[in-house]
Structure 1
Amino acid sequence: MALPENLTSSWTQGLDLPSRLFETGSTDYELFEEDGEFVLSVEMPGFDPESITVSWDEGVLNIAAEHEDTQRGRRRTYHRRFRFPKSIDDEEIAAEYNNGILEVRLPILADAAVSGTEIEVQS
C-alpha cells in the first residue's frame, strides 16, 4: 500500500478549513429587489409543499419545513427568518414551491421609507 505523497493535504482533504472556520451562514437562498418587490428564492429540495410554513410577523418572514424519510429513519427540518428594511404589503405576499425552490414575493408599499440614519463614508 502506497502512502499519499502529501500527508498533510491527505488528512485535511475535503475539510476546506479556512472557509469553514469563517463561514457565517449557508447560501441556500437568494434575495433581491426588483420592480417594487423583494424576491426571495430558497433552495429546499425534497420537501413537500404541504410541509412548508411561510408566515409574516411585523417585518419578519419566517420559513419552516419538516421532512421525514421513513425508509432511512431520518428527519430534516428547515427554519430561517428574514427581516426586511422596508414596509411590505402583507396582504399581497405570495409564495410558490416548484422543483425544490420556494419563491416568495413581497411587494413593497409605495410610501415605504427606509428608517435609519445615513452614515458618511470618510476617505
Structure 2
Amino acid sequence: MVLRPTASTWTQSLDMPSQLFGDRGSDDYELYEEDDKFVLTIDMPGFEHEEIDLAWDDGVLNVAAEHVDEDRGRKKTYHRRFRFPKTVDDDEISAEYTNGVLEVTLPTAAPDTRGKEIPLEGE
C-alpha cells in the first residue's frame, strides 16, 4: 500500500505557504465577544461599500460581496456565513466598512429565563 501525502503535508516539507494553494482557513476574519456583544471584523479589500450585502436570519449572519473589474475582465466574490451561539438583539446589529475592513457589532440579548410557557390540560 502506497501512502500519498496530503497537499498540506507536502507543502510543509517544501516550506511553502498554504495560501498558494487556496487553503486560507480563517485568516480573513476575527470574531470575539466582549461586554455583552460579539464583534466580527473581516478583511475585505477591493470592495466598495455598496457592493457588500449583510443579512441576519435566525442566528446566522450572511456576508456577501461582489466586485466586477471591467477593465481587467475579472469578478471578485466573497461569501461567508457565521452562526452565533447566543441570542443576538437583531434590532441593534450595526456594521461599518472602512479601509477594506468590515466590522459588525452584534449585541447579545438577555436570555428569557422563563422559557416558553406550556399550557396544562386536565382538571
Check whether TM > 0.5: yes
Q: What residue number does 1:87 align with?
A: 87
Alignment of 1:1-123 (within 5 A): 15-16=16-17, 25-111=25-111
Q: Which amino acid aligns with 2:111?
A: D
Q: Is the 8 A contact 1:86 1:112 kept in 2?
A: no
Q: CA deviation at 1:71?
A: 1.3
Alignment: residue pair count? 100
Describe the shift of the 1:89–1:71 C-alpha distance in structure 2 as closer, same or farther (beyond 3 A): same
Q: Percent identity?
A: 57
CA root-mean-square deviation = 2.5
Unaligned runs of 5+ residues in structure 1 are 1-11, 114-123
Q: Which runs of 4+ in 1 moved over 6 A?
A: none
Q: Assess, with a 3 A threshold, how the Cα gap between structure 1 residues 100 and 108 changes in structure 2: closer, same or farther.
A: same
| 1:68-110 CA distance string (max 9 Å, x none) | 1111110000000000000000000001000000000000012
Give 2:116's aligned residue.
none
Report if aligned partners of 1:87, 1:112 keep a CA contact under 8 Å in 2: no
- Name the CA shift for 1:100/1:16 in 2 (closer, same or farther; >3 Å): closer
Aligned residue for 2:63, secondary structure, equals strand
Between the aligned partners of 2:110 and 2:20, the Cα distance in structure 1 is: 41
Distance (whole Å) between structure 1 residues aligned to residue 93 and residue 106 of structure 2: 5
